[in-house]
Amino acid sequence: MILCSNPQAQYQAHKAEIDAAILRVLDKGWYILGEETKMFESEFAAYIGVAQGIGVGSGTEALHIALAACGIRPDNEVITVSHTAVATVAAIELAGAVPVLVDIEPDYFTLDPDKLEAAISPRTKAIIPVHLYGQPADLAPILEIARRHGVRVIEDCAQAHGAMYGERRVGAWGDIACFSFYPTKNLGALGDGGMIVTNDSALAERARLLREYGWAERYVSHIPGLNSRLDEVQAAVLRVKLRYLDADNAARARRAQDYDQALRGIRLTTPKRRSDATHVYHLYVIRCSERDELQTWLKAGGVGVLIHYAVPIHLQPAYQRRLRGGDNLPETERAARQVLSLPMYPELSEMELQMVAKAVQSFFGKIS
């Protein structure tokens, strides 16, 4: 089986350094919010190009804490998309706010700026553009609309570590930004982990309080908070992997080019790239009108493929009656019927990639 993602292969690629980093933590005997976390927060913030990094327990908790740090209150509205991981909307609800959904751009799967302004109301307090699959959202018009309405922008960068929009990395554009270090991400831990980054020192300080019970000093809560801390083992592992992130992203881009070439002329759509941005291919997502049949064919042939995401959030049982804007998302619903993620990770071999491509080609040869 050729896996759709393979975090174990990444561990094996850097095994000696990762093992040494873990042993370093075990030998120190300090396992939560110690020097490894502080160093990783500083190094990751510098990599993104911002002043502050706050390590937390997951990407979902990063979004939840970022919303709270921005002062989002119950019954405030937060605009985002339905074509995303459920974590984006779950975090909005955890903050007590009302998710408001807008449609996506069909070429890039990200929030359509042309649909944004109509969704803004007096209750709107934040916008969460999602940099999906490694492709940056179109931030310039989103930021311009947000500034005009006095609305915060919280970037969801969970799938876009290292991606560029213009001359800056995603995460350095909005008021605050959130990353996930789930093991399959471009920068993945060996468990859960997340990071909040910002240039706003007041937001950073509030986020630090919120992640640990509101403590400014131990055991004294100055504001209500929660427990969401990046542990030392994960921070140490991520420090190792961060050194290889640009090289790994470049390897993903080369594999994307190879897929593009191998799948040329077939009745499907390969990923489109925004001209003023750098895609980092967290996922290589094709569109195909025969998606379900193709998925079945590939799985039967030993190719691990997944759908990101088969059911838009506004159509999921938990959220159908809880969201605003879900009655007019035609591009979102069309994408959900057509998208398919092919295997993509830096360690994917040329032979494996060509096997995937040939399996796709054979399907279309079968039905032509």
pLDDT at 223 over 80: yes
Of all residues in the chain, the percent with pLDDT exceeding 90 is 95
Average pLDDT over residues 73-85: 96
In a domain, 345, yes or no: yes
pLDDT at 142 over 80: yes
Same domain, 114 and 213: yes
What pLDDT digit, counting tens, does each position of 4-38 carry? 999 999 999 999 999 999 999 999 999 999 999 99
Neighbours of 8 (CB within 10 A): 12
Q: Identify the DSSP state of 97.
A: P
Same domain, 45 and 85: yes
pLDDT for residue 365? 87
Measured CA to CA, the distance from residue 127 to residue 136 in angstroms comes to 15
pLDDT for residue 325? 80
Domain boundary among 242, 274, 308: 242
Same domain, 269 and 209: no
pLDDT at 236 over 60: yes
What pLDDT digit, counting tens, does each position of 106-128 carry? 999 999 999 999 999 999 999 99
Same domain, 70 and 215: yes
Domain boundary among 242, 267, 285: 242
pLDDT for residue 354? 97
What pLDDT digit, counting tens, does each position of 171-186 carry? 999 999 999 999 999 9
Measured CA to CA, the distance from residue 238 to residue 242 in angstroms comes to 6
Sheet holding 124-127, edge to edge: 52-56, 194-198, 176-180, 152-156, 124-127, 77-81, 98-102
In a domain, 141, yes or no: yes
pLDDT for residue 367? 60
Same domain, 230 and 308: no
Average pLDDT over residues 291-301: 98
Average pLDDT over residues 221-242: 96
Measured CA to CA, the distance from residue 179 to residue 55 in angstroms comes to 9
In a domain, 119, yes or no: yes
pLDDT for residue 368? 52
pLDDT at 327 over 90: no
Domain count for the chain:
2
Coil vs helix vs strand at 213: coil
Neighbours of 317 (CB within 10 A): 7
Same domain, 70 and 161: yes
Same domain, 85 and 228: yes
Same domain, 163 and 76: yes
pLDDT for residue 117? 96
Q: Could you tell me what percentage of the chain is helix, strand and coil, using 3-state DSSP and rounding each to the nearest 5?
A: 40, 20, 40
pLDDT for residue 226? 96
Burial call 152-169: b when 16+ CB within 10 Å, e when fewer: bbbbbbbbbbbbbbeeeb
**How does residue 75 score in pLDDT terms, banded at 50, 70 and 90?**
confident
Task: Look up the CATH number of the domain holding residue 140.
Answer: 3.40.640.10
Domain boundary among 242, 264, 291: 242
Neighbours of 293 (CB within 10 A): 13
Task: Look up the CATH number of the domain holding residue 278.
Answer: 3.90.1150.10
For the stretch 144-150, contacts whose Cβ atoms lie closer than 8 Å and that sit 24 or more positions apart, written own/partner, are 145/113, 145/116, 145/117, 145/120, 149/120, 149/124
pTM (whole model) above 0.85? yes
Enclosing domain of residue 305: 245-367
Query: How far, rounded to the nearest angstrom, does the alpha carbon of residue 248 sit from its chain's CA centroid?
Result: 16
Same domain, 37 and 145: yes
Same domain, 70 and 150: yes
